[in-house]
């Protein structure tokens, strides 16, 4: 019986290698580097001994696989392992991994093969679309931390010399869904928000794959770094003020203001005036709509088509149910693939309630899909883009004979809620750790409810991108933050 273990994964990757990677050591160099280690620091026989099952995984590698975050390991595989794989072998490698997993009866269907939720065995076997580096990072991490490599040499030997080659040209579909290297280089529709302060203000607690879905579904949880056991929102408010122009104005409006005034600062002042005029009498939902825009652009790398404030301004005949519309362009097995991501947002005290209210909006968007898609098609007539982007959008929204169809619909959601620690903590440093741990527990607890709502509303055919953020007191802070902005940005 073939088994998942470190020797198996080294063997499969070695059989998938590029031509100038002719040694087992080169493969181990890449794997060890992904965990921040150098295989050269060990004895020179280690690579071949790991591949054959003669040696166990070294303690330093096991420790690194347990201590590093999965984001760090994922990035390591993207940098050091994926470049070792031959262009013609990526799909074959994944078919081979699935075949070994299928045969390995020691791994139960519900077993998490790695550390990232969503990579359970049954979920991997039932999927045909993967984040390539994330799956490799999780399976290899599982092989390092959860199997005894030195006891599986006989199982490793079952992998014949041409095992991976046997999956080249197979009819089993494998797709890799990853963001294009740089959206701004790929598409004339440029991102309107690219602020380096984002990574300093918004800290990522976890990034999980929603398990059991036919299409990609992810949830990313962020938080503002707390001080004195509370979230402080001064930097968040400054971030919004500094970028309010890109939220309020279309690309063409921004260009017209610059051409007229020759003064970049006038964009922010005019945007703030428009913001005050629009929301001065009430702003119950505005913070969620703005943060949805921020995460769609900065984290998902999906340029806006229209923000909520623009939807209200331009659509006098059709009322959009969405809190914003963005375009996500990804590379799917070497071919461009596009999604129109329709947004929903909600900030309320309870995370489950925020999920429920966001799905209420999502269902309304789906039920209104013809009008929503027609509205996107109409944007090409409204001079909200520059000429090159307008032509790009016309081509994108016009089906080609024998070519690709219109972009798929997808959904993005921002969810804000009041965090409640399982155990109170008054030490500031311990509070930071407790917050991150609580966020991971909270999103894991609500994941089954998200899956149930997707199935209940027959939304399995759509992709979902969730962005979650905690507040001290969500119902009050969602209005007090906006009120401060409307009153001049005071803290």
Q: For the segment 297-343, what is each residue's pLDDT rounded down to a tens digit?
A: 999 999 999 999 888 887 666 678 999 999 998 766 556 678 999 99
Find the distance separating the first CA and the last CA of the chain, reported in whole Å. 64
Question: So what's the pLDDT on residue 396?
Answer: 85
180 pLDDT tier (thresholds 50, 70, 90): very low
pLDDT at 490: 47
In this predicted structure, the answer to whether residue 402 has a pLDDT above a threshold of 60 is: no
pLDDT at residue 316 in the model = 61
Mean pLDDT computed over every residue of the chain: 88
Q: What is the residue extent of each domain of the chain?
A: 6-178, 183-486
Interatomic CA distance for residues 183 and 303, integer angstroms? 8
The per-residue pLDDT for 102 is 96
pLDDT confidence band for 489 (50 / 70 / 90): low
Residues of the chain above pLDDT 90, percent: 57
Confidence band of 34 (pLDDT split at 50, 70, 90)? very high
Instruction: Report pLDDT for 185.
Output: 57
89 vs 177, residue with greater confidence: 89
Q: What is the pLDDT of residue 260?
A: 83
Of the two residues 204 and 352, the one the predictor is more confident about is: 352
Average pLDDT over residues 93-98: 96
Task: Output the pLDDT for position 155.
Answer: 96
**Lowest-confidence segment of 54-58, 197-201, 348-352, 450-454 by average pLDDT:** 197-201
Mean pLDDT of 155-162: 94
Among the ranges given (59-63, 96-100, 248-252, 315-319), the one the predictor scored with the smallest mean pLDDT: 315-319
Pairwise CA distance, residues 221 & 237, whole Å: 19
Query: 372-388, pLDDT tens digit by residue?
Result: 888 888 887 777 888 88
What is the model's pLDDT at position 491?
43
Q: Residue 263: its pLDDT value, please?
A: 77
Share of the chain above pLDDT 70, in %: 92
- pLDDT on residue 365: 95
- At residue 270, the pLDDT reads 87
């Amino acid at each position: 019986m073939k088994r998942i273990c470190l020797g198996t994964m080294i063997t499969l990757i070695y059989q998938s290698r590029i031509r100038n990677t002719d040694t087992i050591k080169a493969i181990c160099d890449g794997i060890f580097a992904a965990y921040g280690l150098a295989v050269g620091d060990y004895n020179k026989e280690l690579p071949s001994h790991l591949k054959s099952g003669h040696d166990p995984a070294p303690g330093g590698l096991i420790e690194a696989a347990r201590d590093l975050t999965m984001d760090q390991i994922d990035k390591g595989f993207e940098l050091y392992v994926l470049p070792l794989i031959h262009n013609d072998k990526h799909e074959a490698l994944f078919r081979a991994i699935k075949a070994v997993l299928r045969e390995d009866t020691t791994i139960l269907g519900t077993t998490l093969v790695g550390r990232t939720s969503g990579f359970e065995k049954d979920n991997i076997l039932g999927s045909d679309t993967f984040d390539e580096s994330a799956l490799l990072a999780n399976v290899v991490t599982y092989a390092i931390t959860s199997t005894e490599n030195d006891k599986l040499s006989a199982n490793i030997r079952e992998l014949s010399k041409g095992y991976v080659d046997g999956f080249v040209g197979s009819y089993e579909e494998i797709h890799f869904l990853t963001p294009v290297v740089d959206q701004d280089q790929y598409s004339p529709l440029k991102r309107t928000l690219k602020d380096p302060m984002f990574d300093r203000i918004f800290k990522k607690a976890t990034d999980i794959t929603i398990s059991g879905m036919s299409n990609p579904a992810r949830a990313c949880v962020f938080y503002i770094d707390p001080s004195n056991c509370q979230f402080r929102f001064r930097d968040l408010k400054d971030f919004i003020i500094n970028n309010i122009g890109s939220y309020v104005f279309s690309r063409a409006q921004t260009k017209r203001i610059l051409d007229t005034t020759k003064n970049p600062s006038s964009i922010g002042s005019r945007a703030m005036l428009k913001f005050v005029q629009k929301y001065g009498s009430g702003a119950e939902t505005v913070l969620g709509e703005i943060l949805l825009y921020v995460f769609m652009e900065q984290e998902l790398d999906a340029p806006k088509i229209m923000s909520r404030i623009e939807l209200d301004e331009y659509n006098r005949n059709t009322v959009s149910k969405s809190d914003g519309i963005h375009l996500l362009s990804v590379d799917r097995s070497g071919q461009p693939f596009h999604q129109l991501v329709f947004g929903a947002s909600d900030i309320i005290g309870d995370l489950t309630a925020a999920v429920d209210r966001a799905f209420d909006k999502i269902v309304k968007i789906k039920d209104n899909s013809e009008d929503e898609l027609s509205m996107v098609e109409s944007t090409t007539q409204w001079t909200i883009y520059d000429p090159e982007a307008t032509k790009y959008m016309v081509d994108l929204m016009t089906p080609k004979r024998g070519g690709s169809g219109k972009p798929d619909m997808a959904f993005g959601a921002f969810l804000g809620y009041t965090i409640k620690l399982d155990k109170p903590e008054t030490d500031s440093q311990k509070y930071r750790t407790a917050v991150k741990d609580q966020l991971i527990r909270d999103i894991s607890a609500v994941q089954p409810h998200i899956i149930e709502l997707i199935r209940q509303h027959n939304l399995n055919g759509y992709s979902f991108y969730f962005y979650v953020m905690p507040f001290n007191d969500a119902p009050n802070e969602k209005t007090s933050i906006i009120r401060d902005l409307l009153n001049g940005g005071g803290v």
